[in-house]
Structure 1
Amino acid sequence: MPQLEVDGARLTYDDEGPREGGGVPLVFVHGWTANRHRWDHQVAHFSKTRRVIRLDLRGHGDSAGAGVKTVQELANDVLALLDHLEVERFVLIGHSMGGMISQTITLAHPERVERMVLVNSIGKMAYNRGRGLLMAASTLVPYKLFVATNIQRAFAPGYPRDEIRAYIKSSADTPREVVMTLYGAMRAFDVLDRVGEIRTPTLMIHGYHDIQLPVKQMLRMAKAYPDATVRIIDAGHELPVEKPAELTAAIDAFVTAPADRPHAAS
């Protein structure tokens, strides 16, 4: 596993697929408490024909390091990796918190982002009463119970319990300090007043049953985007693993459409 030292962190990443002939690289950014393997289905598909890059954010998966307090700092890590790999232009694909990171990068460096895909992500965190109570109780209950409850809620009803348990275990391996600090970072994240600046063609794809970041919040954000395609799938918050084939197909249609017709995914 290649690794890169960045500002007190050790980032583990994968850089796969052909370097020539497939278009600009695809960069996959995972969400809160997850890791780069959330994208296994998508990477297996796209790396056959084009360069694909994914990483474990600091403190997640096989990466080490903590201390970041903002989404901007996570975005800086992603950019540091891309600069190290000498990737100037790319397509950003971010899930949940990874979508927040993607929007942050695109706002700061629109010239580098060819297209963007936001998977179960929004421009500002908003909580219903149930989610607010869960987060308030996070300091009062055992950490693993908090993680288990949070991950259970992320999947649509009917998703296999054995698979959910595996994701709970993976998430619980993320250090508590990292999880809670980045919860604060997401809670402070707010680019709603700026998304109208994003001229980058964007696909917003969301799970209908997402109660972590409800679809109505994404639709409210989509209205402000000058160039957005919206796709709703019968799933929860964990689209990359709940409906991997559907998500991969939607991304493929969007990123391979001619430059003047990126809305082919709709």
Structure 2
Amino acid sequence: MMADVAVSLAGAATVCRWDQRGCGRSQRRGPYSVEKTVADLDAVRAHFGWDRVALLGHSWGAQLALRYTLAHPERVTKLVYVSGTGIDADSTWHAAYQHNLRDALGEHLARWESLRDRDRTAEEDREYCVLQWSADFADRERALEHAEAMADPWFGVNFECNAALNRERSPDLSGQCETLKVPTLIVDGTADIRPRRSVDSLERALPVVSRVQLVAGHLPWVEDPTGFHTAVSGFLAGT
């Protein structure tokens, strides 16, 4: 799903993408935890012999990239935080997200709910995910098309891994963020169904931070590729 990002940034950096433990082409073998995933990311870095890297994370990956940077600031040159949900408690934004999700699903809401509430076949898993992902795009006319592209090729979703990570209670990161000296770029889509106000406290906490808001949904590189490329490549180049 991040192939377009890799292509866009290939001129600005050597790009390495990885399938997290239990996801994509990686083996579905736990344990699943934030701590373990941070360690896995460090193992990928060490495998390539890179002393320091720039990190770009999207959505949950933005949280992961932030947690890695807080754990290993000496190993990160720059952090790009794309469409994350900030450092506040989920209770401050999740209800609004659920409302926005249902509203964006529109005519597909009943089908999505019926799939959500029953045991699904592999084919129905894919349909359920495509419907849910379609809510992440501001352009409703192309939303299903974009979501179908995210599911091609289809490796399935590891719902066990997802549930395990979501069960973890996030620590208060504000104090650590206030002392983080790694330059950070926050990139948002203004039409993201996850309220962007949830990221405001992260922006206030970070001492070296800039923020770019694009007219897009949860995947801003899909709906504003030029704006995304300009913001991220410029940040990585230091311009």
Count of residues in Structure 1 that have an aligned counterpart in Structure 2:
218
Aligned twin of 1:140:
117
* 1:197 and 2:179 are equivalent in the alignment: yes
1:76 to 39, 53, 56: 39
Give the Cα separation in 2 of the matches to 1:236 and 1:93: 18
SS in 1 for 2:140: coil
Q: Hey, what does 1:131 align to over in structure 2?
A: 98
SS at match of 2:2: helix
* Identity score, percent: 24
Distance in 2 between residues matched to 1:94 and 1:50, nearest whole Å: 15
Instruction: Specify which of 227, 235, 238 is matched with residue 216 of structure 2.
Output: 235
TM-score, normalised with respect to structure 2:
0.79
Structure 1: gaps of 5 or more residues: 1-37, 258-263
Q: Residues of 2 paired with 1:169 and 1:92: CA distance?
A: 25
CA–CA separation in structure 2 for the residues paired with 1:243 and 1:133? 21
Change (3 A) 1:48 1:231: closer
In structure 2, the partner of 1:41 is: 4
* Residue correspondence of structure 1 range 20-59 to structure 2 within 5 A: 38-48=1-11, 50-59=13-22
Tell me which residue corresponds to 1:31. Answer: none
Which residue of 156, 160, 165 maps to 1:173? 156
Residues 133, 39 of structure 1: CA spacing in aligned structure 2 closer, same or farther, 3 A cutoff? closer
Deviation at 1:256, TM superposition (A): 0.4
**Structure-2 change in CA distance of 1:41 and 1:229 (3 Å):** same
Aligned to 2:235: 254
Q: Contact 2:52/2:76 (CA < 8 Å) preserved in 1?
A: yes
CA-to-aligned-CA distance 1:135-185 (integer Å, 9 cap, x gap): xx8973445365344312222242512222332566771232223223334
Q: Return the offset for 1:130.
A: 5.6
Query: Is contact 1:107-1:197 (8 Å) kept?
Result: no
Identify, as 1 or 2, the structure richer in strand: 1
> What secondary structure, in the 3-state scheme, does the structure 2 residue paired with 1:232 have?
strand
Give unmatched runs, 5+ long, in structure 2.
102-112
1:233 positional shift? 0.5
Aligned to 2:196: 215
For 1:92 and 1:218, the matched residues in 2 are separated by 18
| Aligned equivalent of 1:244 | 225
Amino acid of the residue matched to residue 206 of structure 2? Y
Distance 1:254 1:220 in 2: 21
SS in 2 for 1:173: coil
1:95 corresponds to 2:58: yes
For the residue of structure 2 that corresponds to 1:128, the secondary structure is helix
Kept in 2: contact 1:151–1:164 (CA 8 A) = yes
Distance change >3 Å, CA 129–CA 40, structure 1 → 2: closer
- In structure 2, the partner of 1:14 is none
TM-superposition CA deviations, 1:93-124 (whole Å, max 9, x none):
11111111111111111111111110001224
Alpha carbons 1:60, 1:174 under 8 Å: kept: yes
What secondary structure sits across from 2:22 in the alignment?
A: coil
